[in-house]
Structure 1
Amino acid sequence: MGRGSAPAREPTARRRARDDGPRIEYWRPEGIEGLRMFRLEDASRPLSSYSEHYGVVLILRGACDGWYRGTVRTLAAGGLKLKEPGEVHRHVRVHAPITVQGAAFAADVVEEAARTLGVPRPVHFVPVAPGRAPRATALATAMHAALAARGPVTRELEALVTETLAELLATCTERGEVRVHERAPRAVRRAREYLRAHVCEPVTLDALAAHAGADKYHLIRAFRAELGVPPYEYLTHLRVARAAELLSTGLTGAEAAHAVGLFDESQLHRHFRRILGVTPGKFARTMQRQHRPSEARAARLACRA
């Protein structure tokens, strides 16, 4: 949430097979501890894989029959495959060349998240059949799309990765659904108050959780359950609302973006249009305001709780 980290990242490690083989690519998103990424494109022959990490693999294109724990099941585009350390996954038959993207989480990261959520350890995933865990699948899909962009690791992306892992542990393990702690409503109220009070400042998920008095895994699930959106999306809505107020007083898009803690005018434009359905410029013109406020007044308006 808030401003992102510096755009530097570890150079992508590429390993390409022969010209007639699949393309394999690896990279590590800098700023997210214990996470490595890979992408396998156009695999037309059965492959096997082994990992010492927990894997969240999204099938992007194609279809194949895969063997796992003695059972063969069909994996198709849009499907999710979850892996545990030390296990072998192998393709039995490729129906159409497959492209997959995988997120490999370090075992200690997953085990600590499971401990926090009350999920039995070691973590054992269950197969995600089509339609079984729609929200977990939707979150994993969004996470993979964001990580594929290879951009700076923002607070929003960090929170999305955290929420995805929490949802997978809660709904796709042998224990099944993990209920939100009874203190959750109070924690959500404290988190919402904190976000409103710090709308124009960078906000980390760890700081938000500490203020709310709950661990980040429980908080992010409880927040969505209570308000329908995770904390970082709630903060974005707050910022767009404040920016709209500022635009109505005569500030430019760049000034409003800076005042509410966004990177620049282009980021404001993207969020403004997505949430309100119009561009900041069109919104400002409809307000027909002639006078610009003082900088002090603009700051008070942008940051008031």
Structure 2
Amino acid sequence: MQTLISTTGTTDTAAASTPSDTLARNRDWIRRAPAQDGVERIEAFFQHNGYALHRHDTYAIGRTLAGVQSFHYRRCVRNSLPGGTMVLHPDEMHDGQAGTDEGFRYRMIYVEPAVFQAALGGKPLPFIEGGLSDDPRLAAATEALLQGIDRAMDPLEQDDALFDLAHALDAASGARSIQPLRASADFRAAQIARDYLHAALDRPVTLDELATASGRDRWSLSRDFRTFFGTSPHRYLTMRRLDAARLSMLRGMALVDAAAVAGFADQSHMTRHFVAAYGVTPSRWLRMLAPQTR
């Protein structure tokens, strides 16, 4: 049975809860499915302020299940209601808070741009204007990925769903992207640089190193990396280090040790990046996930 915990430390059981019951509890919680191959899935409830302004290097795609989910995005306030689809582009600043006193409940998937690139074959990353969409293709494509948060998906089921979602995004965007594809853009060089970063999580990396490894000049590579993976090489490396730190935390490692193992200078260095990426501190994140880390 899935156990939930509030930030006040009181536990409840999901099996005994209905969406309306949950909205009445005035407690914040997050349920997190096992991470799989560049995809993270969550369900959460927040009564007031959920997340401070932050940005991550993944797509955040999901739907509001109950209440009004308000967030700042691209210089405007958006209000997500049940029935629509949220699509937040990598590296775009956003926050999250309840639009009414009842709070809001939602499900979200976080997908690394590289996962969509594998399906789209080097196209520019699709962009959904405004972060909200009523496109039925997106609603249908997210359905499988937003179900069964309490279990891991079958690998083939997940791959099929991600392929459908990548192409639904591409179609719904009308080929719009934040960074249009330049004729000289080199997808292979960007892939080599990405692989190089994955092998160097525990040490400093320079842009010159990446340029040498990929056979591309440093500024062309920097532009290519942003085009295909939605963020800069440095931000990408920082986010992968945060992934490693979160995994260590979930295994019970102390924050100071998780920071060191992931390649951060110290715990405060990791915490600054954590808040900037997720909008909450590591300790608050762990409190909301506490039943799943024990």
Q: TM-score, normalised to structure 1's length?
A: 0.44
Larger RCO (alpha carbons 8 Å, 6+ apart): 2
Looking at CA atoms only, which structure, 1 or 2, has the larger radius of gyration? 1
Q: TM-score, normalised to structure 2's length?
A: 0.45
